[in-house]
Amino acid sequence: MKITTKLWIGLGALIVLSPLGLFLPEHFKAGAAWGEWGIDEIKKLAGYVPKGLEKLAQLWNAPLPDYTFKGWEEKGLSHLSFAYIISAIAGMAVTVMVVLLIGKLLARKGK
């Protein structure tokens, strides 16, 4: 089996496993997933929000906030799982396209 085939199989497995980010925190009553805190959650955890983080928080708005579609937050775990998978596919597709583009640009410079 070629290495690229193994890579695509691994990426596919990660896509299918992405809803674990929903199930595990809920199962263990852990709240939000570690490191995915918003400004309000950081204020609750740390007691304050660093000024630099407050400025940077407004710089970027995610295309799929909370990895789901608008209005799907209350539809249940099956809808959220589907949205997580779509989000993972979109993220990996963008990443693969950027990596391929950079690879083509670097290969062109090497000639």
Helix then strand then coil, in percent of the chain rounded to 5, is: 65, 0, 35
Instruction: Choose among 109, 65, 100: nearest CA to 84.
Output: 65
Task: Please tell me the predicted confidence (pLDDT) of residue 110.
Answer: 66
Q: Which amino acid is at 28?
A: F
pTM over the 0.75 mark: no
Residues 6+ apart with CB under 8 A from 19: 77, 80, 81, 84, 85
- Alpha helical stretches, state H, 3-76: 3-17, 20-27, 39-46, 51-57
Identify whether the C-beta of residue 72 lies closer than 8 Å to the C-beta of residue 79: yes
Instruction: Tell me the average confidence (pLDDT) per consecutive run of 10 residues in the chain, 111 residues long.
Output: 92 90 78 76 90 85 79 83 90 94 88 65
Task: Please tell me the predicted confidence (pLDDT) of residue 11.
Answer: 92
